[in-house]
Amino acid sequence: MSRSALEAPSSDPTIAASASAPAPTPTSRSLLGRPKASPLSTTILILGAVYCLFPVLWVVMAASKDGGELFSTFTLAPSGNFFNNIVELSQYRGGLYWRWMLNTALYAGVGALASTWVSAIAGYVLAKFTFPGKSTVFTVLLMGVLVPGVILAIPQYFLMAQIGLTNTYWSVLLPQIISPYGIYLSRIYAAGSVPTEVIEAARTEGAREFSIFNRVALPMMGPGLVTIFLFQFVAIWNNFMLPYIMLGDDKLFPITVGLSGLLNQGASVPSMYTLVIMGALLSIIPLIAMFLLLQRFWKVDLAAGAVKA
Amino acid sequence: MHRIFRSSAIAAVAAAALLTTGCSAGSGGDSGPVELSYWAWAPNLEQVVEIWNEQNPDIQVTVNKQDGGDPAITKLLTAIKAGSGAPDMIQAEYQKIATLVGSDALADLSDQGAGDLEDVFSEGDWDQVTLGGDAIYAIPQDTAPMMFFYRADILDSLGLTAPTTWEEYAELARAVHTANPDQLLGTFSANDAGWFTGLAQQADAEWWGIDGEAWTVGVDEEPTQKVAEYWGGLVEEGVIGNQPMYTPEWNAGLNDGSQVGWLSAVWAPGVLSGNAPDTAGLWEAAPMPQWDADEPATGNWGGSTTAVTTQSEHPEEAMEFITWLNTDPEAVTALADVSGVYPAAQEAAAEALTTAPEFFSNQTDFYDVVAEVAETANPFTYGPNVNVAYSAYNDEFAKAADAKTQAAFIEAVTQMQKITIDDLKSAGFTVKE
């Protein structure tokens, strides 16, 4: 579907760009205004789409094979074991995979919601209030954007261990609620989409600061917050290092850590390739669904950014 | 607006309550059964533990399945450093014990009467859990003597037989490759340090040793040099592959017969049946090719123990459980049948394992061969920095396998020695050279 979208840019290039890969979209965007697409850029885009979609195709094909076929038949030739593999995966240790899926949904859903709200209020405050030390706070935040989350996992483990929260849902949820990048984005959205006049008007009417944020600023920042939510959702959904270090109980694992366990069973036990491939395939479906559902807001948001930035 | 805030606050509290109840499975309090957690990766181990849980309502064990080998150990060491979060028991490979003891992660089981179990296990296995001292840091769970697995159908069609010495192995490798240039008798895997360690162990290598209060490192000595020289020669000749095992290509080779043999360990049937199910009945197992046919020997590749961590609040109950798991005939039978390992408890294992694995149904005496081989394992001591030596192996032998020269293989051994010693010294150990 994305490929045809790219071939005919007039249909809607942003769908393809947002659904298939997090690649930047300026090229396809610039085509919007011109009905005639140049063959060169179309070719480049098709190549890009093939490059992005080929691994997905590989996973779909490989998911239909059994253990022997996986290594002996032609890579892109499908086989008839697709549903067998789903059944086998569902039966693995009493349906543990689906528990992992639910865990992942909990981590990503609750985590992204909480993170979005925290980012929104922090960004709003940074954009609309003046207080001593504001620029220091913002500089520290900017530096935080540059620090990859992976290297914080071990220090976070030690902190969690001190308060006895390792190996619990909290240990994975709490560290992911603060997202410097989310706060940074939210500050930009708040500065761009919430006019100071509106806030002042609300103050004049006697509204308290907290309700101004909740009832006036929050709805105005909505489209931007959807972006932050999606970013965080995908980041938590795909996160490996943090849950991997924090969790020992396999009933709390998200999909990423669970699947890694199926692959690394030690030298003496065969890797469960077929289950892992099927598990990986099923795990991206909710992400795709999330993008399709929130696409409308995502588009609005990109447009808003383009005009106001 | 207040209402909105209040309802979201209630939702948050409710979510918190849900989360807390969801994860309150810690160690039991004063009342109720003692709850023990057990990090392990052996397949289906929870089914073996289920037998225990039914018979012992007072001591309930939960298996938390981990990534195999290194990752579980790394996690345990992190938890030990953090002061909390470690399980009561952990499945630890033999080569990890010295490392874990060095970090004070393992409880000494000799206080719990573990010494009574000495006769159940082979001397070699027992030495590895005591590190040659009085303390007992783990109970052997399974052992993995190395053997030679080969495609009997292919060798038969060429009129060739399984080798008994390394010289014959080299000749066989040449014969197989000459008959069909697409086929190789085996591959030198620069990814599997444990595999090479087993080969060195067979050649009587002593990579680590204790001399008084100091460690000695003997990687770059005659036995290991001999092994590296031998494999370097075969790789340089091109009659043995230089690609690692466990890659998709290697798996494909097992399926299509281009990998004719595999120097592996007793657990090989499980891997073969998982990765090349269609070749069932075509393989046979033989003892390792020998350096000296009059003194048969082998090494180990894999094998693991059950240990109690220093963070466990119930070491006595844990000891009770791991004694049952690794010595009780019913448990040992379950370990062999359900979990598919070769139990370290010798007598119980011999009784439990009578029929060949399904994949080797063509070879009815499979476990007789195993039992015969298992007795010939050479003793081997692992030091406190096995991980460093292993990653040095991976790095240096990857270069050597790439270069495909005998000289590069010998140089790799020298480098391994140097890196291992340097690391021991920088970690503060006394090293005698």
Domains and CATH numbers, chain B: 30-137+304-340 (3.40.190.10), 158-301+372-432 (3.40.190.10)
Q: What's the token pair of residue B391?
A: 């990653």
Two structure tokens written together for A298? 């995502």
Q: Is A40 on the interface with B (CB under 8 A)?
A: no
Would the CB atoms of B68 and A265 count as touching at under 8 Å?
yes
Residues forming beta bridges with residue B139, ordered by sequence position:
B306
- Residue B155 has a pLDDT of 93
Scanning A87-116 for CB atoms below 8 A from B yields 93, 110
- Count Cβ atoms below 10 Å from residue A54 Cβ, excluding itself: 11
B123-142: per-residue pLDDT in tens?
A: 888 988 988 788 999 999 99
Q: What is the mean pLDDT of chain B?
A: 88
Q: Kindly determine whether residue A67 and residue B277, on different chains, have CB atoms separated by under 8 Å.
A: yes
| Number of A–B residue contacts, CB under 8 Å | 130
- Nearest residue on chain A to B247, alpha-carbon basis: A71
Q: In chain B, which residue's Cα lies nearest the Cα of A268?
A: B267
**Interatomic CA distance for residues A145 and A159, integer angstroms:** 21
Cβ B274–A271 below 8 Å, yes or no? Answer: yes
The residue of chain A nearest to residue B82, with distances taken between CA atoms, is A158
pLDDT for res B347: 86
Whether B267 sits inside 8 A of A268 (CB atoms) is yes
**Shortest Cα distance, chain B CAs vs residue A284, angstroms:** 22
ipTM score here? 0.73
Residue A33 pLDDT:
56
**Cβ-contact A269, B270 below 8 angstroms:** yes
Write out chain B residues lying below 8 Å of A169, CB-based: 19, 22-23
Tens of pLDDT along A243-299? 998 998 889 999 999 998 888 776 667 778 888 999 999 999 999 998 888 877 765
The stretch B157-169 carries a mean pLDDT of 94
Of B37, B192, B252, the CB nearest to A267: B192
pLDDT digits (tens, 9 = 90+) for B17-62: 444 443 334 444 456 899 999 999 888 888 999 999 999 999 999 9
Q: What is the rounded CA–CA span in Å between residue B28 and residue B13?
A: 25
Q: What are phi and psi of B308, to 5 degrees?
A: -105, 135
pLDDT (mean) for B71-77: 88
Q: Which residues of A touch B46 (CB under 8 A)?
A: 93
Per-residue buried b or exposed e for A20-40, using 16+ beta carbons within 10 Å of the residue's own CB: beeeeeeebbebeeeeebeee
With an 8 Å Cβ cutoff, is A170 touching chain B? Answer: yes
CA distance A129 to chain B (A): 21
Within an 8 Å CB–CB cutoff, is residue A292 touching chain B?
no
pLDDT of A78-124, one tens digit each? 888 889 899 989 988 888 999 999 999 999 999 999 999 999 999 99
* Residue that is written with structure tokens 């039966």 in the block: A91
Query: Are B43 and A265 in contact (CB < 8 Å)?
Result: yes
- Digit-coded pLDDT (tens) for B360-375: 989 999 999 998 898 8
Measure the CA–CA gap between B209 and B204, rounded to whole angstroms: 13
Binary contact (A250, B265; C-beta < 8 A): no
By the CB < 8 Å criterion, does A11 face chain B? no
**Cα–Cα distance measured from residue B428 to residue B423, given in angstroms and rounded to the nearest whole number:** 9
Q: Give domain limits for chain A.
A: 2-62, 91-308
Q: How many Å lie between the alpha carbon of B277 and the closest alpha carbon of chain A?
A: 6
Among A169, A250, A268, select the one facing B265 at the smallest CB separation.
A268
Q: Are A21 and A234 in contact (CB under 8 A)?
A: no
Structure tokens at B121: 């296990």
Contacting A residues, span 219-258, partner chain B, CB-CB under 8 Å: 244-245, 248-250, 252
A215 Cβ under 8 Å from any chain B Cβ: yes
The Cα of A270 is separated from the nearest Cα of chain B by a number of Å equal to 5
**pLDDT, tens digit, 9 for 90 and up, residues A209-239:** 888 888 888 888 888 888 899 989 999 999 9
**Which chain B residues are within 8 Å of A248, Cβ to Cβ?**
37, 39, 64, 66, 75, 79, 85, 87
CA distance B365 to B373: 12
- Contact assessment for residue B421 and residue B217, using Cβ atoms and an 8 Å cutoff: yes
Query: B2 CA to chain A: closest CA distance, Å?
Result: 8
Of B15, B65, B277, the CB nearest to A250: B65
- Return the structure tokens found at B192: 């599997």
Q: Name the superfamily (CATH) of residues A91-308.
A: MetI-like (1.10.3720.10)
Report how far residue A155's alpha carbon sits from residue A98's, in angstroms, rounded to the nearest whole number: 30
List, for residues B240-278, the tens digit of each pLDDT value.
999 999 888 898 899 889 999 999 999 898 888 888 888
| Residue B1, pLDDT score | 39
Q: How many residues does chain B have?
A: 433
Rounded to the nearest angstrom, the minimum Cα separation between A10 and chain B is 42
Buried b (16+ CB within 10 A) or exposed e, A247-261: bbbbbbbbbbbbbeb
- The amino acid that residue B214 corresponds to is A
Tell me how close the Cα of B43 comes to any Cα of chain A, in angstroms. Answer: 8
